[in-house]
Structure 1
Amino acid sequence: MSRKRWRFWAWPWELKQAGVLGINARNLNYIAHLNPRKLYARVDDKARTKLICHEHEIAVPRTYALISRYGDIAHFGALMGNRQQFVIKPACGAGGRGIMVVAANTREGFVLANGTVLSAADIEHHLASILSGLFSLSGHPDKAIIEARVMPHVAFSEIAVGGTADIRIVICQHVPIAAMIRLPTAESRGRANLHQGAIGVGIDIATGRTTTAVHHNRQITQHPDTLSPVSGLLIPHWQQVLHIAGRLSHALQLGYVGVDIVLDANYGPMVLEANARPGLNIQIANNQGLLKANSHALAVPELKILPV
């Protein structure tokens, strides 16, 4: 009796049959069709996204300063004063590059979330690197956003190591179709970035409960650092999270968008950023393709999102 040989790959027709959305189909059928190119700047520039959120009363981390000129870098100390915690990020960065999380401001210097101690000169050098475009999507000159640090929610204390978990919601035609939570690990150095070693955990859209989880595209059931289970957990404020994502997609006037939301211990759900080209790894985290959900969303009449 012959046994079926295991394969680590699949034919294109097998992926389509399983409902998996590929990058070409995503770009042609959804992004090009639903996202006007002239509106990309609304999400590619995080400072602009935050302004849109403010206009529509959508919660975001408080902005302490926006530095766009090299001459302003010398005033960094005065801008921060005695603030103990803050985050520095490039306005047009991607993939978590250039983000610096300051956990304490001491006599010895600025202590980062990973324990590294930097001097004021080190911070100013980093700000100059951001302005030069070192971390920007296109390499063009950029702006540096200095904002409040999000305080991790207690619900994720055992499954988010060294950083803050964030929730990705994919919106098609203003309808939430898929969700996952990205959990930082020691390997990812506290960053919720799957390519750097964070965990992706699927979320059931209807219930807000975590389902399957992947680490480096391999399914897991426990956090590799804490050994705590990552499946079957109920995400706090779930309906509010979905509502915020839907409202932002309307405000941005983008039909296919990924919205990243964090849960702050004091202020609840807050928007971190949005993406006009949401990645496809969310299918792996959920162990489910996006084609069927996208088709259903396109068949739904456009929704009017009302304020809570």
Structure 2
Amino acid sequence: MRWLHSWDGILGMNARNARISRTNSPTAIRLVNNKYATKQALLAAGAPTAPTLRLVRSRQESNRTDWNELPDTWACKPNQSLGGNGILLSFGRRDGIWESPSGKPITEQTVKNHLRRILDGDFSPRERDWALFEPLITAHPDLAALSHQGLPDIRVICLGDEPRLAMLRLPTRFSGGRANLHQKAIGAAVDLASGRIVRALMGDRPVSAHPDTGHQLLDARVPHWETVLDAASRCAKATGLRYLGADIVVDAARGPLILEVNARPGLQIQNVTGHGLHSAIA
């Protein structure tokens, strides 16, 4: 917590949970726990999100699927997973066989086996789940240059339709290409007015450049920043949440897309930005 400007205004876990119970209705929380329903609500509110290529809700639907209709690149996700678990990515296709990011072949049987696990609830808190196929997201080159592999994303904390704090999460070699701060991805505070990175942390260590790419982080700007904030501001109306964390990526072709809306956003953004959430959402 030493990066915080002061201990005043810090939001602890108990206070956060109490705030959520007062602010976010059970109906809204159930909605955002369902990725497909959330996507439909976001689209209805005019908020940008990735289209759904295919929704698989049962083994019967899986067996009826013509897998040749899938494009060369895609992302397969559980509908109600936690922590980004259970995602299968195709980065291309060679001789009719899809390939993972590491170049490992993904056969039709591999896809069917993975779907079986998703449908059986292996990655979900529920006993059964659905599977979503979405277009593969390619990071905007300005953000890809700041990251080591993986997909950088932006967390925006909103109170109603008003963004209050924002950070960029950048994968590193230590994080295995994932944007998880607890796995030593970089958290970079983003100034709401300008979209400029004003500080960055890897764990509890300040950094000014990415340790793997060498690219300067401080003063780098998030592309399409005004559109990022506009997307985040639409999440409350779309979902019914009054306090939320919007996770947004900037796709090279489509621009900002909302990946997920969180009813219980974490508290690490306080360390990264140096501002306590209690004050930020007062």
User: Which position in structure 2 is the counterpart of 1:162?
Assistant: 149
- 1:274 lines up with 2:264 in the alignment: no
**Which AA in structure 1 matches 2:279?**
K
- Distance change in 2, residues 1:189/1:109 (3 Å): farther
Once the two structures are superposed, the pairs formed by residues 108-123 of structure 1 within 5 Å of their partners are 109-123=97-111
Aligned to 1:242: 229
Mark the CA change 1:80 to 1:242 in structure 2 (over 3 Å): closer, same or farther.
farther
Q: Which runs of 5+ in 2 are unaligned?
A: none
Q: Measure the CA separation in 1 of the matches of 2:192 and 2:5.
A: 22
Q: Name the amino acid aligned to 1:97.
A: N
Give the C-alpha shift of residue 216 in structure 1: 2.5
Aligned residues: 282
Q: TM-score, normalised by structure 2?
A: 0.93
1:57 aligned residue: 46
Q: After TM superposition, give the deviation of residue 15 of structure 1 in Å.
A: 10
- Which string of whole-angstrom CA distances, capped at 9 and with x for unpartnered residues, describes residues 36-69 of structure 1? 1122121101101101012122221121101110
2:14 maps to 1:24: yes
Rg comparison, structure with higher value: 1
Q: How big is the shift at 1:16?
A: 7.9
Q: Is the 8 A contact 2:76 2:133 kept in 1?
A: yes
SS in 2 for 1:141: coil
| Kept after mapping to 2: 8 A contact 1:201/1:213 | yes
Structure 1: distance between partners of 2:201 and 2:126? 32
SS state of the match for residue 74, structure 1?
helix
Contact 1:213 1:220 (C-alpha < 8 Å) held by counterparts: yes
Contact preservation (8 Å) 2:140, 2:251? yes
**Larger deviation: 120-129 or 214-223?**
214-223
By relative contact order (CA 8 Å, sep 6+), the higher-ranking structure is 2
The CA distance in 2 between the partners of 1:93 and 1:251, in whole Å, is 21
1:44 pairs with 2:36: no
Aligned to 2:71, what secondary structure does the other structure show? Answer: coil
**Quick one: structure 1 residues 273 and 80, their matched pair in 2 at CA, closer, same or farther if it must change by over 3 Å?**
farther
Q: 1:79, CA displacement in angstroms? A: 4.2
Moved over 3 A (4+): 14-18
Alpha-carbon distance, 1:124 to partner: 1.3
**Amino-acid identity (%):** 34
Task: Give the aligned residue type for 1:201.
Answer: A
TM-score (ref. length: structure 1): 0.85
In the alignment, the residues of structure 1 paired with residue 245 and residue 123 of structure 2 have an alpha-carbon distance, to the nearest angstrom, of 20
Partner of 1:209: 196
State the partner residue of 1:182. 169
Measured in 2, the distance between the counterparts of 1:197 and 1:74 equals 40
- Relative to structure 1, the CA distance from residue 224 to residue 80 in structure 2 (aligned partners, 3 Å threshold; closer, same or farther) is farther
In 2, Cα distance between equivalents of 1:103 and 1:249: 33
8 Å CA contact 1:35, 1:276 repeated in 2 = yes
State the distance in 2 between where 1:287 and 1:80 align: 49
Q: Secondary structure at the match of 1:54?
A: helix
- Contact 2:67–2:108 (8 Å) recurs in 1: no
Code of the residue aligned with 1:17 in structure 2: it is W
Equivalence for 2:75: 87
1:226 maps to 213
Structure 1 residues 203 and 106: CA distance shift in structure 2, 3 A: same
Structure 1 residues not aligned, in runs of 5+:
1-7, 296-308
Query: In 1, are the aligned partners of 2:184 and 2:203 still within 8 Å (CA)?
Result: yes
